[in-house]
Amino acid sequence: MRHLLTWAIAALLSPAAGAAPDLHDYWDGRCRECHGDSAAFARSTLRVEGGRLLGRHHTEDLATFLRQHYLTDDLLVPVMQMLQAQATTSPLFKEKCAGCHGTAADFARESLVMRDGVLVGRASGRAVRDYLQRHGKLAPSQIAPMVATLERVLGEVGGR
């Protein structure tokens, strides 16, 4: 019941029709109670072969299974894309940033925005790529993947 109430409240408070949905909020309100964090779920139970997202038990038609598992038609493709990205992306944010910044979704919602096609800090206006040169103890080779992950997550939470 708590799960249903959470989803109903989230639906009432969600952006107007036509706005990008917050896929992480959807997952957290609808799926997290049974399946845990979406990224951990994707990395532990899903794989990508030939560009197709496959489940451990539902290898032939994961989309049909997800539809029958209460995933709405309008969110089927976006959620599958999110899970595919999570299944194929290392947990760099969790390993390097979560201790201070929480989840990537919460961080993106609260602290990031796209300006003229560049990911920037909402408060500072500084390009995240530049900021990460001196923050987070990332290796130079980790900066571009981190920025790509944060850009993707920002889109998944409905931010632009």
- 31: containing domain: 2-87
**Per-residue model confidence as pLDDT tens digits over 18-64:** 568 999 999 999 899 999 999 999 999 999 999 999 988 777 788 88
Give the mean model confidence (pLDDT) for residues 73-80.
93
Least confident of 31-35, 146-150, 151-155: 31-35
Given 87, 117, 134, the domain boundary residue is 87
pLDDT confidence of residue 18: 57
Task: Let me know whether 40 and 97 are in one domain.
Answer: no
Q: Return mean pLDDT, the chain.
A: 88
Looking at the structure, tell me whether residues 73 and 6 fall in a common domain.
yes
Q: What is the pLDDT of residue 15?
A: 46
Same domain, 24 and 47: yes
Is 23 in the same domain as 60? yes
Q: Give the model's pLDDT for residue 66.
A: 87
Q: pTM here?
A: 0.84
- Confirm if 67 and 57 have CB atoms less than 8 A apart: no
What are the tokens at 95? 């390993």
Claim to verify: residue 114 and residue 59 sit in the same structural domain: no
Total count of domains within the chain: 2
